[in-house]
Amino acid sequence: MAPPQKILFPPEKICMDWQQRQSAGAGLYNLGNTCFLNSVLQCLTYTPPLANYLLSREHSQLCHQQGFCMMCRMEAHVNKVLHSSDSAIQPWDVVSVLSRIGEHFEPGMPEDARDFLRCTVSAMQTACLSGSSDLDASSQLTTVVQQIFVGFLRSRVTCLSCNMTTNFYQAFLDLSLDIQAASSVTAALENFVKPKQLDGENCFKCSKCDKMVAASKSLTVHHAPRVLTVCLERAEDFTNRKISKVVEYPECLDLRPYTSQAAGEPLLYCLYAVLVHSGDSCNEGHYYCYTKASNGLWYKMDDMSVHYCDIDTVLRQQAYLLFYVRKLQEND
């Protein structure tokens, strides 16, 4: 990809470590089926590089957006939660703009937390780009939001007739893992990067052979994001039945074996939030989360309630989304 013409946010200004230390902030009142939204907002509030930026209020000082701006909304929300003396607040800053975050969101309706997360990050990215329309694609990747949350996958297709390889790159906001054949996140990641055969209907058009050929396709993480979100796919294909099994996940994850340069130094991530869906079906149930506050302690956040809990409890949940933050290494 061509180098960016403009750097919207200098990468060295992204602070991965908390700039202030405190115990957990306020809980969030449920405003009518808003647990999907409350749990996602709490996970975002305890995302260190995003929270550091929003707490600095740098965005709103420079924002010229007229009307709806998701970054201004998130900045207001995160500052309220972390600075409030009340035990819980009402998340109106976000609930009142639900249909601006995603047209399909209806007030009072239960929604999918992962969908809400994607729409929220995308609305924040749009806000970061406002005032800089007609930017080249590389420059659009230099917003603070993009640099925190977005990674790239490489899909490498190898023709089984002539061995020519072709690479494709795709941005990702979360790594979606199939858990049907895996009992742990690391096993699911191993399956994720395992080469898959393309044949029959899925044959590949090889430009060198100039015909449809059988091929092998392998996926790897090509650019590792600062914040890695992992989604454990709990909806069974076709039936949409919920897969309720326990899947183990580590507090510290080395992503290196699943990257395009699998042989390098460890690429370590620390768990800082776990979003849980409880209930027997994907279409109903309840969301809550566990997050690590800037004091290093874990809290269970279930709508308005916020309670201290230990790491063993955090690691034994029927997780839906896992949030990991890159651990700084000495040469970073």
Point out the residues that are catalytic.
Answer: 35, 286
| E strand intervals along the chain | 27-28, 88-89, 151-159, 165-172, 175-178, 196-198, 204-206, 211-213, 215-223, 227-233, 252-254, 268-278, 286-292, 298-302, 305-309, 319-326
Indicate the residue among 119 and 159 with the shorter CB distance to Zn ion: 159
Indicate the residue among 162 and 311 with the shorter CB distance to Zn ion: 162
Per the CB < 8 A criterion, the answer to whether 332 and 15 are in contact is: no
- Give CA–CA dist 108/119, Å, rounded: 17
- Give CA–CA dist 246/266, Å, rounded: 26
* Shortest CB 9 distance to Zn ion, Å: 14
- Give CA–CA dist 102/107, Å, rounded: 11
* Shortest CB 85 distance to Zn ion, Å: 26
Indicate the residue among 159 and 275 with the shorter CB distance to Zn ion: 159
* Shortest CB 332 distance to Zn ion, Å: 29
DSSP state of 85: S
Structure tokens at 108: 């009072």
Indicate the residue among 185 and 206 with the shorter CB distance to Zn ion: 206
Residues that bind Zn ion (CB under 5 A): 63, 65, 69, 71-72, 159, 161-162, 164, 206, 208-209
Per the CB < 8 A criterion, the answer to whether 218 and 196 are in contact is: yes
Q: Count of CB atoms within 10 A of residue 191's CB?
A: 14
* Shortest CB 51 distance to Zn ion, Å: 16
Indicate the residue among 14 and 164 with the shorter CB distance to Zn ion: 164
CA-to-CA dists, residue 19 to 16, 54, 98, 213, angstroms: 9, 11, 30, 54
Residue listed under structure tokens 């996140």: 185
Indicate the residue among 195 and 264 with the shorter CB distance to Zn ion: 195
Nearest to 216 by CA among 143, 165, 179: 165
* Shortest CB 131 distance to Zn ion, Å: 10
CA-to-CA dists, residue 270 to 26, 51, 142, 228, 289, angstroms: 23, 16, 24, 9, 16
* Shortest CB 159 distance to Zn ion, Å: 3
Structure tokens at 8: 């919207």
